[in-house]
Amino acid sequence: MPGGPKNEADCQDPVAVARACYQAYVDKDRPAIEALIAADFRFTSPLDNGLDRVTYFSRCWPNSKAIAGFDFIHLVTAQDRVFVTYEARTSQGKRFRNTEILRVRNGKITEAEVYFGWDLPHRAAFGGFLVED
């Protein structure tokens, strides 16, 4: 959905809002994503704790330069949240898998929790694990 949700029904559909957010990264469309991120937005990840909207855009939006696409594995709604697992592709050919929980209110994303760490292919052999210091 380049440019955000297409109509009023899409604006109220949390999955459509989530898809439009990811598409903005692929399209490098900052105005589209700004229209989807609420003024009171908060972003949390293993590296970030409750970033506000301004800090999110300064820290995270530059990553859009490297994003070539998203393949959605799971898009599940529960009340005002969308649970998203995706495999991302970068313009350099790297692939990785993340899971995010997005809270959507009135067609805007108010909160994002990001869980990451999987490289594709997985660094551990199937059935195995990595030992970390």
Please state the pTM of the whole predicted model: 0.87
Residue 32 lies in a domain: yes
**129, 123, 116, 45: which is closest to 85 by C-alpha?**
116
Residue 125 lies in a domain: no
Residue 133 lies in a domain: no
Count of structural domains within the chain: 1
Mean pLDDT of 78-100: 96
Residue with tokens 């292919």: 121
Residue 128 lies in a domain: no
Mean pLDDT of 63-91: 97
Residue 80 lies in a domain: yes
| Parent domain of 27 | 8-120
How far is residue 79's CA from residue 60's CA, in Å, rounded to a whole number? 26
pLDDT band at 110 (very low <50, low <70, confident <90, very high): very high
Question: What percent of the chain lies above the pLDDT cut of 70?
Answer: 91
More confident residue, 48 or 1: 48
Q: Give the CATH number for residue 67.
A: 3.10.450.50
Residue 129 lies in a domain: no
More confident residue, 123 or 106: 106
Q: Beta strands of 1-133 (E only): which ranges?
A: 37-45, 48-51, 67-78, 81-90, 95-105, 108-120
Residue 93 lies in a domain: yes
**17, 67, 65: which is closest to 41 by C-alpha?**
17
Mean pLDDT of 101-125: 92
- Position 23 pLDDT exceeds 50: yes
Residue 127 lies in a domain: no
More confident residue, 40 or 2: 40
Label residue 32 left, alpha or beta by phi (over 0 means left) and psi (-120 to 50 means alpha).
Answer: alpha
